[in-house]
Amino acid sequence: MNRIALPPSPRRTARRLLAAGLLGAAVLVTGLLAPGIVTAAAAPAGVSAKVHETAAALPTAPPTAGPPTAADGLIAAGQVVSVFDDRVPAVANLNAVLLAAVRRAATDAAASGIRFQVNSGWRSPKLQAWMLRQAIADYGSKAAAERWVATPEASEHVKGEAIDLGPSAADDWLERHGAAYGLCRIYANEAWHFELRPRAVTDGCPAMYADPSHDPRLQQ
Q: SS3 of 61, please?
A: coil
49-218 placed in CATH 3.30.1380.10: yes
Weakest-pLDDT range from 9-13, 112-116, 178-182: 9-13
- How high does pLDDT run on average in the chain? 79
> How confident is the model at residue 4, as a pLDDT?
37
Using pLDDT thresholds of 50, 70 and 90, give the confidence band for residue 64: low
Q: Where are the domains of the chain?
A: 8-41, 49-218
Using pLDDT thresholds of 50, 70 and 90, give the confidence band for residue 65: low
Compute the distance between CA of residue 38 and CA of residue 48 in angstroms, rounded to an integer: 17
Q: How confident is the model over 9-30, as pLDDT tens digits? A: 444 444 443 344 433 443 333 3
Peptide bond into 167 cis (omega under 30): yes
Question: How far does CA 90 lie from the centroid of its chain?
Answer: 12
How much is the pTM? 0.70
- Strand order of the sheet with strand 183-187? 117-120, 162-166, 190-196, 183-187
Pairing of strands 162-166, 183-187: unpaired
